[in-house]
């Protein structure tokens, strides 16, 4: 019986997203990943392993196993 | 002086409004009307981990409003610098409201770490607006480090206690050449007016509106108070007689 697609192509490698482990993100590019999460791309900044990824680089940036992603947005706040 | 000529200049950018709005603790639905009633041109926002379920605040900000990201949540210079970098990427602008607050109980800013972060960020081209406990020496260090404004607290964040640091703020107004923007603690429009009369360049407020029964109406009240205080400052308030009284009616020609 063939392995599930996800397992063969990406393996069961964990990625950490905003401090939480996530099983199935590795192998995706950032743009697809954000779109699937329904993250508004106009209100997110992505830090990958401590480095900011600029918006035009989302599509060419592949998420690798053990990557640490921080997805940060503007929220209400002020005094 | 005409109203057109009375501009607030921050890092080379000019504003006609002297009232900066916060966006915390109230429904995003009210942001638009609060901005309109306040006639605010700058609104501050925090950065947090994305929660896909949460509404996108940017959808509620009218066109032409300057977003002033803040570094709230940062407890030292290093964290604040990281947050500023994230904010610049997100906003596309160089404005940063620098908040370094290690203390959880009183939310007191760390002035020393704030000076450190100001120096780094100003060198990187940020328009740095640091939030501090009012202290003349620190304010001078901030200016030397490249701060665009100094934002002293009037009272602890979120307390609505008013101008508790009034005398210390007055020293900054008198001695510091960059705009002094009163940040935190202003609870009533009368206090905003009072600070503007003293010569403050602008007022930043959030909780005082967010905790009001009618947020847009309070935003309007603040706008009027800030404008009134500013006009009074420009007009030059009259002198105070500490003892006795001075009649304003003629003393001659009394009919007895």
The pLDDT tens digits of the residues spanning B138-157 come to 999 999 999 999 999 999 99
In a domain, B118, yes or no: no
Average pLDDT over residues B74-90: 96
The tally of domains found in chain B comes to 1
Is B153 within the bounds of a domain? yes
Q: Provide the pairing of β-strand B19-22 with B202-205.
A: parallel
- Is B183 in Cβ contact with A76 (below 8 Å)? no
Is A14 a residue whose pLDDT tops 60? yes
Dihedral sign computed on CA atoms, order B77, B82, B86, B89: positive
Give the up-direction half-sphere exposure of residue B68: CA atoms within 13 A in the CB hemisphere: 28
**With 50 as the cut, is the pLDDT of residue B245 above it?**
yes
B45 → closest Cβ in A70, A71, A77 = A77
Cα–Cα dist B86/B56, whole Å? 17
Return the pLDDT at B138.
98
Q: What is the per-residue pLDDT across B227-240, written as a single tens digit (0 to 9) for each?
A: 999 999 999 988 98
First to last CA, chain A: 59
Q: Choose from A10-24, B15-29, B163-177 the range with maximum mean pLDDT.
A: B163-177
Helix (H, G, I), strand (E, B) or coil at B49: strand
Q: If you classify domain A5-68 with CATH, what class do you get?
A: alpha beta
B205: closest CA of chain A, how far (Å): 6
pLDDT tens for B169-213 read 999 999 999 999 999 999 999 999 999 999 999 999 999 988 999
Among B21, B45, B52, beta carbon nearest to A75: B45
| Minimum mean pLDDT range among B34-48, B94-108, B109-123, B146-160 | B34-48
Mean pLDDT of chain B: 93
| pLDDT band, very low/low/confident/very high, at B51 (cuts 50, 70, 90) | confident
Could you identify the residue written with the tokens 């909780």? B207
In 3D space, the residue among B46, B48, B51, B55 whose CA is nearest the CA of residue B22 turns out to be B46
The helix/strand/coil state of B220 is: helix
Here the CATH number for the domain that contains residue B42 is 3.20.20.70
Catalytic residues of B: 97
Residues B150, B177: Cα–Cα separation, whole Å: 10
Per the CB < 8 Å rule, is B47 touching A37? no
Assigned token pair, B112: 């020393």
Q: What range defines the domain where residue B183 resides?
A: 8-67+131-235
Residue B27 banded pLDDT, cuts 50, 70, 90: confident
Across the interface, whether the CB atoms of B90 and A45 are under 8 A apart is answered: yes
Q: Which of B147, B149, B94, B43 is nearest to B84 (CA)?
A: B94
Neighbours of A79 (CB within 10 A): 32
B206 is in an annotated binding site: yes
For the cut 60, the answer to whether the pLDDT of residue B125 exceeds it is yes
State what percent of residues in chain B have pLDDT above 90.
Answer: 73
Cβ neighbours for B236, distance < 8 A, ≥ 6 positions apart: none
Give this complex's ipTM: 0.85
At which residue do the structure tokens 């600029």 appear? A54
With CA atoms as reference, report the closest residue to B86 among B121, B118, B122: B121
Query: Is B184 labeled as ligand-binding?
Result: yes
DSSP SS3 for A22: strand
Nearest-angstrom CA–CA distance, B239 and A79: 34
- Extents of the domains making up chain A: 5-68
The pLDDT of residue A3 is above 80:
no
Q: Please, which residues have CB within 8 angstroms of residue B78's CB and are 6 or more apart in sequence?
A: none
Contacts of A47 in chain B (CB under 8 A): 86
Report chain B residues touching chain A, CB-CB < 8 A.
Answer: 21-26, 28, 31, 43-52, 54, 56-58, 67, 69-70, 72, 85-87, 89-91, 157-158, 183-184, 204-207
What residues are paired with A62 via a beta bridge? Answer: A29
CA A54 to chain centroid? 13
Residue B40 burial (C-beta neighbours within 10 Å; 0-12, 13-18, 19+)? buried
Give the HSE-up count for residue A27: Cα atoms under 13 Å, Cβ half-sphere: 13
Is B187 a domain residue? yes
Q: Kindly state the tokens that stand for B234.
A: 């420009």
């Amino acid at each position: 019986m063939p392995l599930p697609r996800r397992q063969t192509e990406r393996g069961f490698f964990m990625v950490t997203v905003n401090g939480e482990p996530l099983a199935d993100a590795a192998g995706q590019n950032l743009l697809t990943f954000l779109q699937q999460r329904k993250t508004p791309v106009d209100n997110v900044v992505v830090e990958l392993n401590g480095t900011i990824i600029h918006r035009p680089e989302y599509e060419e940036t592949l998420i690798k196993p053990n990557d640490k992603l921080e997805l940060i947005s503007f929220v209400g706040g002020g005094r | 002086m005409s109203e057109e000529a009375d501009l607030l200049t921050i890092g080379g950018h000019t504003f006609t409004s002297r009232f900066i709005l916060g966006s915390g603790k109230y429904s995003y639905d009210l942001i638009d009307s609060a901005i309109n009633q306040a006639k605010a041109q700058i609104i501050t926002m925090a950065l947090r981990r994305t929660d896909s379920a949460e509404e996108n605040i940017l959808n509620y900000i009218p066109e032409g409003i300057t977003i002033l990201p803040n570094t709230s949540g940062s407890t030292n210079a290093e964290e604040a610098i990281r947050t500023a970098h994230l904010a610049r990427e997100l906003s596309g602008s160089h404005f940063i409201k620098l908040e370094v607050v290690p203390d959880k109980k009183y939310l007191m800013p760390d002035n020393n770490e704030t000076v450190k972060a100001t120096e780094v960020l100003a060198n990187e081209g940020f328009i740095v607006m640091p939030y501090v406990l009012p202290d003349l020496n620190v304010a001078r260090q901030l200016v030397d480090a490249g701060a665009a404004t100094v934002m002293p607290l009037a009272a602890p964040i979120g307390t609505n206690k008013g101008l508790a640091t009034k005398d210390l703020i007055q020293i900054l107004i008198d001695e510091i050449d960059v705009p002094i923007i009163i940040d935190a603690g202003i609870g009533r429009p009368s206090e905003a007016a009072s600070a503007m009369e003293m010569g403050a360049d602008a007022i930043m407020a959030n909780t005082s509106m967010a905790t009001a029964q009618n947020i847009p109406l309070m935003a309007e009240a603040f706008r009027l108070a800030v404008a009134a205080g500013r006009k009074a400052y420009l007009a030059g308030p009259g002198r105070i007689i500490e003892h006795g009284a001075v009649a304003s009616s003629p003393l001659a020609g009394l009919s007895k």
